[in-house]
């Protein structure tokens, strides 16, 4: 078995490893990482594991390293408490209310790109600013702090997959100090009975336990952080990946231009084919036997969403990007109690962005495939040069 998430071929395109995992090694042990981790890849195995939270726990985080349980990065009942709290911000009505500001922002970003020389970077100029501006607004971050905010969001993600996470320590501390000041300022205003904006920040800063106490600061900060990390780079990657695949085969782009209603199907196929989060980890609470292999207790197990999305027993012709594919549940937002809370927001932003681009730049074409973002368990472009003239 030669697969490893760190080989140049798999890093360059994770799909290079899926066949091997699905057909020859549905339970893989990766000894190259500290701590070593197992990988599950078959769709049915992920379905079982993600639903069996007693065996595959999130109590030590969903990254490759063991972390303390904070905020939502844990099991019920604490997880349920924060999830219920946040759910009210992701209801269909809340998403409807976002439609207008997202559409306006998408047009503004495209207006700016249209004033340029005829070429621009789809990542830098459209796909990156759109989600970060929207989430920063919901978290009450002032506009002048946006660039800094985005930098910190990138650092959080880079640190998760880095060989030496300590190199990001200074930035992480600075970010925590910023968010702490920001959150505590709002909490103080709430305790003093001042009028505060009805946003995600007020919801989290003002959250109280059943005993009426504010929830611990560390949990509130962890939730804020997860929204930031979960909501930014992932949605940016969804947009760059989708445009990349459409422009790679210009007839796909032309199909969208002719029928912008296809945007919804494009977003779903892009999520299946190029998941922005290739996989996340669980932690075994007991030894588990899967396909004759025993995964020991207290071991990290990577849920390989990307490989499961190419499982031929679920998706016909899995390696074909087919925007007319009948809709079937892919794994790119996870499954079960931790299913992505922000999925409707990510879908809305990506669909609107694709429709606005198709309408305003019908001759859009790819200049270059750009380059991949660094963290090995994420998948997106950090550059995507395009031309509209
Ligand atoms: C294309 C964009 C996105 C992708 C691919 C994505 C993917 C995921 C995945 C795979 C999970 C974990 C599921 C699991 O552990 O089984 C997750 C959880 C989560 N996501 Fe997203 N996400 C995206 C956008 C967003 C956005 C826009 C937000 C919020 C603004 C968000 C907030 C969250 C939160 C809070 C969780 C934790 C849910 C829980 O533990 O109950 N995500 N996301």
Task: Give dist(CA 369, CA 386) in Å, integer.
Answer: 9
Residue closest via CA to ligand 1's atom 43 equals: 340
Residue given tokens 């004759």 in the structure block: 292
pLDDT for residue 141 is more than 90? no
Q: Kindly list the distances between the CA atom of residue 8 and the CA atoms of 4, 14, 69, 372, in Å, as whole numbers in the listed order.
A: 9, 10, 33, 12
Task: Give dist(CA 42, CA 207) in Å, integer.
Answer: 39
pLDDT for residue 154 is more than 80? no
Query: pLDDT averaged over the chain?
Result: 94
Its pTM stands at 0.95
pLDDT in tens, 93-118: 999 999 999 999 999 999 999 999 99
- In the CATH scheme, what is the homologous superfamily, with its name and number, of domain 8-133+230-387? Cytochrome P450 (1.10.630.10)
Closest ligand 1 atom number to CA of residue 349: 27
pLDDT for residue 230 is more than 90? no
Pairing outcome for strands 381-383 and 371-372: antiparallel
- Confidence bin at 20 (pLDDT 50/70/90): very high
pLDDT in tens, 265-299: 999 999 999 999 999 999 999 999 999 999 999 99
Question: Percent of the chain at pLDDT above 70?
Answer: 99
Predicted confidence at residue 353, as pLDDT, reads 98
Mean pLDDT of all residues in 87-92: 92
- Residues with CB under 6 Å of ligand 1 are 50, 62, 72, 83, 135, 226-227, 230-231, 234-235, 238, 276-277, 280, 332-335, 338-342, 345-346
Please, what is the Cα angle at 186 between 181 and 187, to 5 degrees?
A: 95
Predicted confidence at residue 232, as pLDDT, reads 85
Q: Using CB atoms within 10 Å of the CB of residue 320, give its burial: 0 to 12 exposed, 13 to 18 middle, 19+ buried.
A: exposed
Mean pLDDT of all residues in 255-259: 98
Q: How far is the CA of 333 from the centre of ligand 1 (A)?
A: 6
Closest ligand 1 atom number to CA of residue 303: 16
Closest ligand 1 atom number to CA of residue 226: 35
Mean pLDDT of all residues in 337-354: 97
Question: Percent of the chain at pLDDT above 90?
Answer: 80
Ligand 1 test: best mutation among 228, 342, 348, 350, most atoms within 8 Å of CB? 342
3-state secondary structure of 141: coil
Predicted confidence at residue 301, as pLDDT, reads 98
Predicted confidence at residue 1, as pLDDT, reads 62
Predicted confidence at residue 161, as pLDDT, reads 65
Mean pLDDT of all residues in 252-277: 98
Q: How far is the CA of 119 from the centre of ligand 1 (A)?
A: 32
Kindly state the DSSP code that residue 140 receives in the 8-state scheme. T
Q: Please list, in sequence order, all residues whose beta carbon lies within 8 angstroms of the beta carbon of residue 292, skipping any fewer than 6 positions away.
A: none
Task: Give dist(CA 284, CA 281) in Å, integer.
Answer: 10
Mean pLDDT of all residues in 196-213: 91
pLDDT for residue 153 is more than 80? no
pLDDT for residue 156 is more than 90? no
Higher pLDDT, 324 or 145: 324
Residue closest via CA to ligand 1's atom 31 equals: 342
Predicted confidence at residue 140, as pLDDT, reads 85
Q: How far is the CA of 116 from the centre of ligand 1 (A)?
A: 34
């Amino acid at each position: 078995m030669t697969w490893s998430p760190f080989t140049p071929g798999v890093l360059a395109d994770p799909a290079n490893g899926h066949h091997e995992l699905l057909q020859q090694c549905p339970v893989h042990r990766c000894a190259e990482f500290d701590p070593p981790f197992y990988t599950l890849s078959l769709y049915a195995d992920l379905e079982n594991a993600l639903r069996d939270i007693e065996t595959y726990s999130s109590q030590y985080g969903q990254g490759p390293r063991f972390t303390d349980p904070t905020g939502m990065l844990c099991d019920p009942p604490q997880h349920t408490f924060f999830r219920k709290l946040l759910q009210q911000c992701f209801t269909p009505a809340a998403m409807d209310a976002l439609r207008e500001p997202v559409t306006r922002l998408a047009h503004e970003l495209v207006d700016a790109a249209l004033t340029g020389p005829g070429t621009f970077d789809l990542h830098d100029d459209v796909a990156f600013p759109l989600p970060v501006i929207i989430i920063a607004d919901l978290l009450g971050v002032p506009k002048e702090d946006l660039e800094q905010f985005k930098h910190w969001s990138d650092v959080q993600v880079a640190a998760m997959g880095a060989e030496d996470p300590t190199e990001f320590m200074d930035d992480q501390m600075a970010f925590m100090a910023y968010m702490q000041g920001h959150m505590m300022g709002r909490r103080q205003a709430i305790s003093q009975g001042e009028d505060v904006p009805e946003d995600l920040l007020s919801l989290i800063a003002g959250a109280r336990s059943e005993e009426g106490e504010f929830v611990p600061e560390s949990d509130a900060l962890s939730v804020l952080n997860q929204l930031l990390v979960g909501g930014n780079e992932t949605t940016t990657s969804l947009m760059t990946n989708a445009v990349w695949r459409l422009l790679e085969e210009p007839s796909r782009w032309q199909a969208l231009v002719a029928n912008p209603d296809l945007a919804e199907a494009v977003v779903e196929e892009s999520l299946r084919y190029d998941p922005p989060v290739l996989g996340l980890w669980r932690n075994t609470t007991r030894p588990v036997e899967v396909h004759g292999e025993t995964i020991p207790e207290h071991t990290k197990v990577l849920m390989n969403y990307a490989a499961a999305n190419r499982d031929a027993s679920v998706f016909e012709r899995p390696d074909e990007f087919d925007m007319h594919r009948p809709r079937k549940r892919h794994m790119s937002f996870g499954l079960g109690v931790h299913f992505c809370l922000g999925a409707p927001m990510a879908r809305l932003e990506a669909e609107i962005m694709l429709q606005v681009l198709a309408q305003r730049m019908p001759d859009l074409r790819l200049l270059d495939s750009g380059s991949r973002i660094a963290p090995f368990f994420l998948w997106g472009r950090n550059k995507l040069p395009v031309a509209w003239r």
